[in-house]
Structure 1
Amino acid sequence: MENHFIEIAQLIRQARNNALKAVNKELINLYWNIGHYISLKIKNAEWGDKTVGELADFLKKNHSELKGFTRTALYRMVKFYEMYCSNQFVAAVKQQIQKPDNQKHEIGATLWHQFESEDIRETILAKISWSHHRIIFGRCGTDEERIFYIKLSIKENYSVRELDRQISASLFERAITSENPKTVIQSKSKSHIGQVFKDNYVFDFLNLPENHSEDDLQKGLLLKMKDFILELGRDFIFIAEEYKLMVGNSDFYIDLLFYHRGLQCLVAFELKAGKFKPEHIGQLNFYLEAIDRDVKKEHENPSMGILLCKDKDNQVVEYSLSRSLSPTMVAKYRTQLPEKELLQQKLHDIFEEDENLNND
């Protein structure tokens, strides 16, 4: 009998999930149309900022049971509508909601001559929650990035917290700049180290010319340290530039030294403005050995090294690291994202195969 009970529990759970999805579709559709309506009023100079505030006050005073319609929330709905209203993936699916005949003579009927509601319940926008949308349009700067995270949230069934973590880890930039973007997306590494470090970094905030030096790169990263740490990810703490190591009678200098709270270890960054060379690994391993002997504290884990280079041959990197005992990684950096057309093509390639499989 227990198996039958389990089946009943599954039916209940499935029904609840379906109900939540249906409610979410209606909410997203509602917020879209509220944003649409207010946007038109503002665009036609019929409403101003004061009127939007008055609407929020009216709803609070006269319809206190309606929560979540503050002035700030209403403007979020406007932003939501204006951000996606011209996108092809919405225009291809949305349709006008026809007004029933029995409403022709009601008080609000005149509004329908000025405003036609739209139905976006079958678009991808209605397949994620409002909390997901708030994170995406609050943190993503381009249409391509927003669509990427919407589709990925649907595909991977991301929670809000997981979506926020993936944006913080710059998954979009990693996928777009990777030679094999699907591998980056589908990677579910169980290693905490694998989740902390990337194989591609994007430093578009530096505005460096194509032919820049390592000194230019280092100075730029120091001046934009906040942006650099955001690109690296969480838990990185900057310690020093040109960190001095004394070995024997010689002095050596690490380009950038960080500490990672999660891994509880020092992380040495070496910057190379050119292509990766095998000898770079020997230099970095030497620094790591010196750090572990003379700098690392007893309770800390062995130090790690990250070699940031402008270009790399993956096979050369693999050979160079195959006998290295030190925890060392080689990552490629870019000073700018690909052109918009290339971004769109890559996004298409990333999701096209999955969509074809779902349609079969």
Structure 2
Amino acid sequence: MATSIQQNIHTFLDDIRRIIDAARTNAVRSVEFCRVQMYWQMGQRILEEEQQGKDRADYGSYLIKNLAKQLQPEYGSGFSVRQLERCRQFYRLYPIASALRSQLNWTQYKMLITISDPNKREYYELETVNNCWTSREMERQINSQLYERMLLSNDKEAVLAVARKERIPQSPLEIIKDPMYLEFLGLERKPAYYEKDLESAIITHLQHFLLELGQGFTFVARQKRILLEDDEFFADLVFYNRLLRCFVVVELKTGKLTHQDLGQLQMYVNYYDRMEKLPEENSTIGILLCTSKNDTAVRMALPKDNKTILASEYQLYLPTQAQLIDEVKSVWKMINKPSNSTEEEKEEKA
């Protein structure tokens, strides 16, 4: 009897805590959205006033500087020239109030308005809402070039269609990235790591790893024991992807990929297909995470029509600013390259 009373008290207390936490969360969201609306309305008013003096080229700059001079002593540093310029840009990019998303805060909108490419901006806006990213998570995905990495193996329309929820991913290439950035593991800069150290770090930071893997992943097993007659094998990590409706086996390698690694992963994939997969589920996917790979060797080691074994490089540290610029240039050069060689290309080669 006493135990039952105690359980009721605990249940009651948990319910009250949930009510309080939900109210606090909603209050924060409400304040954030009011803040977003405030900056949007300020941007609208600034732009309207600025356009009245459009015959003077320097009127906009004068207007904002004078406004900041008046507002800062009264309302604080949150109304600086830089902030007021952001408000104006914010309204320019989102001229319709209904386009604002209550799930996004001002910090996230500040990051979005710095992105000049409208498709790229829309992608991060949608993915932030779809995945409930925090400001920090959104910043990380932008800094790690998530959009550009997705474009390496997908066309722009397909990437945006998935983000808009207009279609469900049909191929692992639409979800899985190459390369993957694992800087969140916090591993020290060393010339070499043991695979068990890498695996332990991933398990410790599983939530971040799932975010880097992509949409729809859930954790299934670590060091999954596979017994084949008298021989034991252990698959490093096993996940399930609810969008692709299949198991995903991940093998970790701290060195360059070899054809033996691919053979081992293929065996694990075959095992899951034949022993674990349900008839209505899709074929198992295998991902081999390595520090480097020979793409030609990978293609030669796998069947021509391979769609289930993927090799993806990982990097333990985010790229530097110079590396980011070089990577963005190479990605866009690849995307915008015509299918047939132009006369200019032929001349360059000559």
TM-score, structure 2 normalization = 0.59
The offset of 1:172, in angstroms, is 5.4
The offset of 1:260, in angstroms, is 0.9
* Residue in 2 that maps onto 1:315: 296
Tell whether the 8 Å contact from 2:90 to 2:113 is kept in structure 1 after alignment. Answer: no
Tell whether the 8 Å contact from 2:148 to 2:331 is kept in structure 1 after alignment. Answer: no
**Is residue 260 of structure 2 the alignment partner of residue 283 of structure 1?**
no
* Residue in 2 that maps onto 1:197: 176
**Is residue 280 of structure 2 the alignment partner of residue 299 of structure 1?**
yes
* Distance in 1, Cα, partners of 2:334 & 2:302: 33
The offset of 1:321, in angstroms, is 2.6
Q: Classify 1:350/1:309 alpha carbon distance in 2 versus 1 (closer, same or farther; 3 Å).
A: closer
Residue 209 of structure 2, aligned match among 224, 228, 233? 228
The offset of 1:194, in angstroms, is 2.4
**Is residue 328 of structure 2 the alignment partner of residue 328 of structure 1?**
no
Counterpart of 2:175, as a letter, is V
Tell whether the 8 Å contact from 1:257 to 1:268 is kept in structure 2 after alignment. Answer: yes
The offset of 1:342, in angstroms, is 3.4
Q: Classify 1:271/1:187 alpha carbon distance in 2 versus 1 (closer, same or farther; 3 Å).
A: farther
* Distance in 1, Cα, partners of 2:92 & 2:106: 14
* Distance in 2, Cα, partners of 1:321 & 1:137: 47
Q: Classify 1:349/1:319 alpha carbon distance in 2 versus 1 (closer, same or farther; 3 Å).
A: closer
Counterpart of 1:95, as a letter, is S
**Is residue 185 of structure 2 the alignment partner of residue 206 of structure 1?**
yes
* Residue in 2 that maps onto 1:272: 253
Q: Classify 1:186/1:133 alpha carbon distance in 2 versus 1 (closer, same or farther; 3 Å).
A: farther
Tell whether the 8 Å contact from 1:94 to 1:122 is kept in structure 2 after alignment. Answer: no
* Residue in 1 that maps onto 2:93: 127
* Residue in 1 that maps onto 2:115: 150
The offset of 1:133, in angstroms, is 10
Q: Secondary structure at the match of 2:291?
A: strand
* 1:302-325 superposed Cα distances (whole Å, 9 cap, x missing partner): 211010111112222222234475
Q: Classify 1:291/1:172 alpha carbon distance in 2 versus 1 (closer, same or farther; 3 Å).
A: same
The offset of 1:163, in angstroms, is 6.3
* 1:138-178 superposed Cα distances (whole Å, 9 cap, x missing partner): 569xx9xx369722335676595366459889475255996
* Distance in 1, Cα, partners of 2:72 & 2:306: 73
Counterpart of 1:150, as a letter, is I
Counterpart of 1:245, as a letter, is I
Aligned residue pair count: 261
**Is residue 228 of structure 2 the alignment partner of residue 259 of structure 1?**
no
Counterpart of 1:173, as a letter, is S
**Is residue 144 of structure 2 the alignment partner of residue 173 of structure 1?**
yes
Tell whether the 8 Å contact from 1:176 to 1:346 is kept in structure 2 after alignment. Answer: no
* Distance in 2, Cα, partners of 1:136 & 1:321: 46
Percent of residue pairs identical: 22
Counterpart of 1:204, as a letter, is E
Q: Classify 1:311/1:341 alpha carbon distance in 2 versus 1 (closer, same or farther; 3 Å).
A: same
* Distance in 2, Cα, partners of 1:119 & 1:272: 48
* Residue in 2 that maps onto 1:54: none
Counterpart of 1:131, as a letter, is L
Tell whether the 8 Å contact from 1:305 to 1:329 is kept in structure 2 after alignment. Answer: yes
Q: Classify 1:139/1:281 alpha carbon distance in 2 versus 1 (closer, same or farther; 3 Å).
A: farther
The offset of 1:296, in angstroms, is 1.8
Q: Secondary structure at the match of 2:319?
A: coil
Structure 2 portions without partners, runs of 5+: 1-28, 41-58, 74-78, 159-168, 336-350
Tell whether the 8 Å contact from 2:252 to 2:288 is kept in structure 1 after alignment. Answer: yes
After TM superposition, the structure 1 stretch with the greater mean CA deviation from structure 2, 147-156 or 263-272, is: 147-156
Q: Secondary structure at the match of 2:115?
A: helix
* Residue in 1 that maps onto 2:63: 97
Structure 1 portions without partners, runs of 5+: 1-68, 81-92, 101-107, 355-360
Tell whether the 8 Å contact from 1:269 to 1:305 is kept in structure 2 after alignment. Answer: yes
Structure 1 segments, 4+ long, off by >6 Å, are 77-80, 166-169, 348-354
* Distance in 2, Cα, partners of 1:76 & 1:156: 17
**Could you say what the CA RMSD is over the residues aligned between the two structures, in angstroms?**
4.6
The offset of 1:262, in angstroms, is 1.2
* Residue in 1 that maps onto 2:198: 217
After TM superposition, the structure 1 stretch with the greater mean CA deviation from structure 2, 249-258 or 196-205, is: 196-205
